Amino acid sequence: MATRPHTSELDHESKPRRRITATQIGFAIVLCLMLAFALANFQYVRVNWIFGTWRTPLIVALGVAFLLGAGVGALAVRQRTSRKKKKSA
C-alpha cells in the first residue's frame, strides 16, 4: 500500500496562497471613499447640460465631469506618447 502525503502538502501544491498587495489595499480604500462620497451627494441640483437644463443628482453631474476629464486626460497622454515615439524613430 502506498502512503498518502499529508493533507497540508497537497493543499500547498494544488492551491498557491494569494497575497494581498498594497495596490489592492489602496484600490479598496479608494473604492470605499468613492462609495461614501456617492452616498453623501444624492441631493438634486439644477444642471445646464448642452442639450437643456434639468434636475439631476449631484453625484451624476460629478460622475459625468469626472469621466469627461479622465477621457481628455487619456487622450492627452496618448498624444504625448505618440509624439515621443515619432521623435525617437
| Strand stretches in the chain, DSSP E | 44-49, 52-57
Q: How many domains does the chain have?
A: 1
Label residue 4 by pLDDT band (50, 70, 90): low
Burial class (CB in 10 A: 0-12, 13-18, 19+), 80: exposed
- The pLDDT assigned to 75 comes to 93
Nearest to 41 by CA among 30, 33, 49: 33
What is the tens place of the pLDDT at every residue in 39-57? 888 899 999 878 899 899 9
Residue 30 lies in domain: 7-88
- The pLDDT assigned to 45 comes to 93
- The pLDDT assigned to 69 comes to 92
For residue 1, is it within any domain? no
User: DSSP assignment, residue 15?
Assistant: S
